[in-house]
């Protein structure tokens, strides 16, 4: 079943359909929230908030947009509400969970020997430092594109910004990363 069909089934009272949706999106949605908040406990709370909202309003998804874009929009709003309440200090979370490697791990993969392990650790630190230099807006577009796999059009709709703004933020993020890391590390 497609995501839209699952949402229709859930709206019609089939509770197993929601379980399937949660199963499909647990990792990418949790990782998105983790990267925005920098805190696993907060990300888990927000993840639950997103699905509580879906349970309370199962017909809210109107199929105007791709389901994943709509779901990430709900998650984005939950995270922004969290930040507006002043309950957070935004940090960069780079380590992935057991199912999804972080950016640093993606760039330094393989089974390293001791020398390579030291080099990989140093590269990971450089990547973390470079990502910390991005503005919150640039980092968010970067993560939505590279971790959540959303298109720039979906990102623009999610963040309620023009498409050109989403592209510009990504371009500036890439420029910062290139400057800080050099082309060699980015192509690894």
Q: Are 37 and 136 in contact (CB under 8 A)?
A: no
Q: Is residue 164 part of a domain?
A: yes
Task: Report the C-alpha dihedral over residues 73, 79, 83, 85, rounded to 10 degrees.
Answer: 100
The number of CA neighbours under 13 Å toward the Cβ of 153 is 2
The DSSP H or E segment spanning 51 is helix 40-56
77 and 139 fall within a common domain: no
Say whether 40 sits in a helix, a strand or coil.
helix
The domain total for the chain is 2
78 and 115 fall within a common domain: no
pLDDT at 98: 41
- Of residues 91 and 155, the one with the higher pLDDT is 155
Q: Is residue 161 part of a domain?
A: yes
Q: Which of 129-133, 146-150, 156-160, 163-167 has the lowest mean pLDDT?
A: 146-150
Cα–Cα separations (whole angstroms), residue 127 to 92, 170, 180, 185: 11, 16, 8, 9
Distance CA 39, CA 36 (A): 8
60 and 125 fall within a common domain: no
The most confident of 90-94, 136-140, 166-170, by mean pLDDT: 166-170
pLDDT at 113: 60
**Range(s) of the domain holding residue 148:** 103-186
Q: Is residue 50 part of a domain?
A: yes
51 and 122 fall within a common domain: no
* Average pLDDT value for residue range 1-14: 88
Q: Residue 155 belongs to a domain with what CATH number?
A: 1.10.10.10
Distance CA 187, CA 49 (A): 37
pLDDT at 146: 80
pLDDT at 145: 86
Enter the tokens of residue 88.
Answer: 């957070």
pLDDT at 185: 53
* Average pLDDT value for residue range 158-180: 92
The most confident of 7-11, 22-26, 128-132, by mean pLDDT: 22-26
pLDDT in tens, 53-100: 988 887 788 777 788 888 888 898 888 888 878 754 444 445 444 444
Q: Are 46 and 37 in contact (CB under 8 A)?
A: yes
pLDDT at 164: 95
For the chain, what is the mean pLDDT? 80
Percent of the chain with pLDDT over 90: 22
Cα–Cα separations (whole angstroms), residue 4 to 10, 49, 50, 65, 178: 10, 20, 17, 10, 39
pLDDT in tens, 35-51: 878 788 999 999 999 99
Enter the tokens of residue 94.
Answer: 């780079």
Name the residue among 138, 140, 33, 127 with its Cα closest to residue 82: 33
The answer on pLDDT for 183 being more than 70 is no
119 and 182 fall within a common domain: yes
- To the question of pTM greater than 0.85 for the whole model, the response is no
Which residues does 77 contact at the CB level (< 8 Å), separation at least 6? none
């Amino acid at each position: 079943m497609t995501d839209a069909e699952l949402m229709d089934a859930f709206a019609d009272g089939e509770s197993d359909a929601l379980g399937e949706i949660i199963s499909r999106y647990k990792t990418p949605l949790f990782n998105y929230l983790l990267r925005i908040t920098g805190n696993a406990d907060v990300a888990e709370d927000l993840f639950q908030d997103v699905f509580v909202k879906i349970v309370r309003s199962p017909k809210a998804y109107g199929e105007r947009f791709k389901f994943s874009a709509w779901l990430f929009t709900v998650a984005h709003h939950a995270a922004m509400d969290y930040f507006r309440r002043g309950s957070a200090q935004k940090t960069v979370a780079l380590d992935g969970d057991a199912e999804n490697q972080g950016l640093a791990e993606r760039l330094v993969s393989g089974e390293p020997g001791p020398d390579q392990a030291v080099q990989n650790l140093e590269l990971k630190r450089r990547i973390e430092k470079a990502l910390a230099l991005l503005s919150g807006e640039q980092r968010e577009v970067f993560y939505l594109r590279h971790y959540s796999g959303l298109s720039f059009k979906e990102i623009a709709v999610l963040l309620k910004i023009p498409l050109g703004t989403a592209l510009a933020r990504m371009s500036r993020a890439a420029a910062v990363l290139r400057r800080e890391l050099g082309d060699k590390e980015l192509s690894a």
